[in-house]
Amino acid sequence: MYKKFKAKKVKEKITENIKDFSENKVLYTLTKSHSPQTIVFIEDKEDPWFVYVKYFKTKTGTIVYSSMIIAGDLETQLSHLQRLGWEFKK
């Protein structure tokens, strides 16, 4: 009559580090004063049409957010981030 109780499996959290992308070409690096994060635009070495956008913690290198954009939209994305206060890292 009663269903057996099954505990839910806990999914392992996959954490990436920015060092995992050290072989790829970094196109742009953006920082913001007083921000704990850095944004990096990395070229996809398998397909140059795409660019990875990685937000990572500056101190640890742990990737917080990741997305992929088309290379043609790169300038639009950069200008948007500059309007939000992000600056190119020297």
Residue ranges and CATH numbers for the domains of the chain are 18-88 (3.30.67)
Task: Look up the pTM and report it.
Answer: 0.81
Please check the confidence at residue 52 and state whether its pLDDT lies above 90. Answer: yes
CB atoms within 10 A of CB 26: 15
Distance CA 54, CA 17 (A): 10
pLDDT for 2-50, tens place per residue?
Answer: 777 777 776 677 788 999 988 999 999 999 999 999 999 999 888 889 9
How far CA 79 is from CA of 30, 39, 63, 76, in Å, comes to 11, 13, 22, 5
**Distances in whole angstroms, Cα of residue 63 to Cα of each of 3, 7, 79:** 41, 30, 22
Contact present, 27 and 71 (Cβ < 8 Å): no
